[in-house]
Structure 1
Amino acid sequence: MKKSIIIFYFIMLYSLVQLISWGTLVIKLQPSRMAMVMGEGSVFLFLLCMGAFFLHQSIKKEDKLHEQQQNFLLSVTHELKSPLAAIKLSLQTIVKRDLDKARQLSLLNNSLKDIERLDDLVENMLLATKIENRSYSFPKEQFNFSELITRITDRLQIHSCGSQQMISLNIEPDVMITGDPFALSSVVTNLIENAVKYSGPCAEVAVDLNTVNGHPFLKVADKGPGIPDHEKMLIFDKFYRVGDENVRKAKGTGLGLFIVKEVLQNHDADISVKDNAPQGAIFEITFS
């Protein structure tokens, strides 16, 4: 890529030098053709500059994509290693120590949660690949959306915050929807996991589901740092993550909200991002 850029700019510089030298020579030999030389030279120079500008923009975009892919690989490595290390430690503890049954069950339950986390990560990567390749068909059926959300929040609920409930539910019962249960479960999981991840320790995450004018309406609100206005639309791009990579604390792959956008578009649903008060972000989904 860099070699091609150097060659291109060398050719552009050579062309510019030749344009000026030949134009000067023609004007000296035939002063009456000065207007023609200036006009055609200006057009040629304009096209040359436009070509250089678009090439520069393309290179910047390619470099940005390459950087995002590198960050994605680093993030995936971290996301895989952390639960695997926790599972390994729990199993080694069970094998090497004489623990009572309650302690063994606690370690096994923690391992199951880490396995579910790994499963979510793998499913996200597979679904994102299938969506991008247009090989996923989104099989739709009617199902109970309230039960699906309740099941997911129960699994993601954090029980290490004393009596305080981290995920606060306000679910209207028996909200039925026609869609792909697997893909929509990925939408709900990604939104709630993001809310939990970016909120402070034991900060409340609110999940509301009801019907508005006969249409299902889902809202996920967190109390995290929030999302700047200029990034509210960019967050749905593949690999994009809010903030600077060097100072970002929360880990992630940058696939979650890309999947959310693609799945909802296939279900004719709208998603919007708003600021929460006093801080945080609110994701609102309206189904048609």
Structure 2
Amino acid sequence: MKRSLVIFYAIIIYALSELMWWGYMLVHLQPQRTGMILGEGSMFIIVFSAGAYFLHKSINEERKLHEQKKNFLLSVTHELKSPLASIKILLQTIQKRDLSKVQILDFVDKSLMDIERLDDMVENMLLASKIDNRSYTYPKAQFNLSVLVDSIVNRLQITKCDCNQQIINAEIEPKIQITGDKFALTSVVTNLVENAVKYSKPCEVVTVRLFSKDERVFLQVADHGIGIADNEKSRIFDRFYRVGSEDTRNTKGTGLGLYIVREVLDKHQASIKVKDNVPTGSIFEVVFGLT
């Protein structure tokens, strides 16, 4: 990519140099046509410069996408390897040691949690791939969103913290019915809650609220984590994009979660916006119409 940029800039410099040289020669040979030569030359330079600028912008965007894809592959490799290694160790421990039934059940529970994490990631990648190539059809039916959100919160709930504090505080209005793709919306809720937990400190409270108001349904996921800078709020829903730089980022992830969230909500005529939480963190607010 760097070599392509060097060649691109060299061609631009060469073309401008040749243009200026031939312009000088024409003015020198036909001084009576200086005005026309300068006018046409200026117009050519403007058009040429505009084309070079947009081409440069396109190359830069392609370079950034290439870097994001490379980082995505590295992230996926790490995301797959970590739970697999954990499951392997747990199963080997059960196999090689004489454990009590309580210990075995505890290790099995931990293994199942890692398997669910892997399952979520694989489902995310498959759904993102289908969305990207426009092969996903979004089959819609009426279902109970309250039950869906409650089940996801319970599955992602972490109660074994050093501070012995429940990490997800759920305020769910019962019996909220909507029409939509239950599978895709499961991914939306899961990604929003997982992101809130991921970017929060251990045992920090994450609040999930689901309620209806003025013929609309609101889903709010609030955390007290690192927050999102204003200049990044418009980019976090882009495919492969992740908050922060690759050198300083400590959180795991593939950069597909919020991309899926935006694409799925667009197909449900629902909106999502990001607000700053007080004193720290972010609030993701999803609004559905009751149609």
Equivalence for 2:88: 88
Q: Quick check: 151-160 or 22-31, which moved more?
A: 22-31
Q: CA RMSD in A?
A: 1.3
User: Which residue type is aligned with residue 224 of structure 2?
Assistant: K
Q: How does 1:184-195 map to 2 (within 5 A)?
A: 184-195=185-196
CA contact (8 A) 1:225 1:280 kept: yes
Counterpart-to-counterpart distance in 2, 1:32 and 1:232: 57
Displacement of 1:131: 0.4
Structure 1 residue aligned with 2:58: 58
**Counterpart of 1:242?**
243
Partners in 1 of 2:17 and 2:54 — Cα distance? Answer: 21
1:14 shift after superposition: 3.4
Matches within 5 A, 1:209-288: 209-288=210-289
Instruction: Give the 5 Å matches for 1:53-202.
Output: 53-161=53-161, 163-202=164-203
Matched with 1:14 is: 14
2:72 aligned counterpart, secondary structure: helix
Take 2:3 and 2:211, find their aligned partners in 1: how far apart are those partners? 57
Query: What TM-score do you get using the length of structure 2 for normalisation?
Result: 0.95
> In percent, how many aligned pairs have the same letter?
60
CA deviations on 1:172-194 (whole Å, 9 max, x unpaired) are 01100100010000000000000
Deviation track 1:197-230 (CA, whole Å, cap 9, x = no partner) reads 1100000000010101122111000010111111
Distance 1:11 1:276 in 2: 49
Q: Are the equivalent residues in 2 in contact too, given 1:72–1:239 (CA < 8 A)?
A: yes
Which residue identity is paired with 1:267? Answer: H
CA distance in 2, matches of 1:78, 1:39: 58
Q: What is the DSSP-based 3-state SS (H/G/I as helix, E as strand, rest coil) of the residue aligned with 1:134? A: coil
Query: What's the CA shift for 1:9?
Result: 3.8
Once residues 266 and 28 of structure 2 are traced to their aligned partners in structure 1, the CA distance between those partners, rounded to angstroms, is 64
CA contact (8 A) 1:187 1:263 kept: yes
- Cα distance in structure 2, aligned partners of 1:95 and 1:42: 79
The amino acid that maps onto 1:99 is L
Q: Which moved more, 1:158-167 or 1:210-219?
A: 158-167
Partners of 1:56 and 1:281 in 2: CA distance: 35
- Which whole-Å CA distance do the structure 2 matches of 1:31 and 1:5 have between them? 38
CA-CA distance at 1:62 after TM superposition: 1.0
Provide the C-alpha distance between the structure 1 equivalents of 2:86 and 2:29, rounded to a whole number of angstroms. 82
Aligned match of 2:41: 41
CA spacing shift, 1:5–1:275, aligned 2, 3 Å: closer
Change (3 A) 1:249 1:10: closer
CA contact (8 A) 1:220 1:284 kept: yes
What are structure 2's unaligned runs of at least 5 residues?
Answer: none
Secondary structure of the structure 2 residue equivalent to 1:169: strand
Separation (CA, whole Å) in 2 of partners of 1:11 and 1:226:
43
| Paired amino acid for 1:279 | T
User: SS in structure 2 opposite 1:245?
Assistant: coil
Q: Cα distance 1:98–1:166, how it changes in 2: closer, same or farther (>3 A)? A: same
* Residues 12, 48 of structure 1: 8 Å contact kept: no
Bigger mean CA offset, 63-72 vs 19-28: 19-28
Tell me whether 42-51 or 192-201 shows the greater mean CA deviation: 42-51
Partners of 2:227 and 2:3 in 1: CA distance: 41
Q: Partner amino acid for 1:74? A: L
Give deviations 1:120-174, integer Å, cap 9, x for gaps: 0000000000001110000000000000011111110002126421100100011
Partner SS, residue 273 of structure 2 = strand
Query: What amino acid sits opposite 1:257 in the alignment?
Result: L
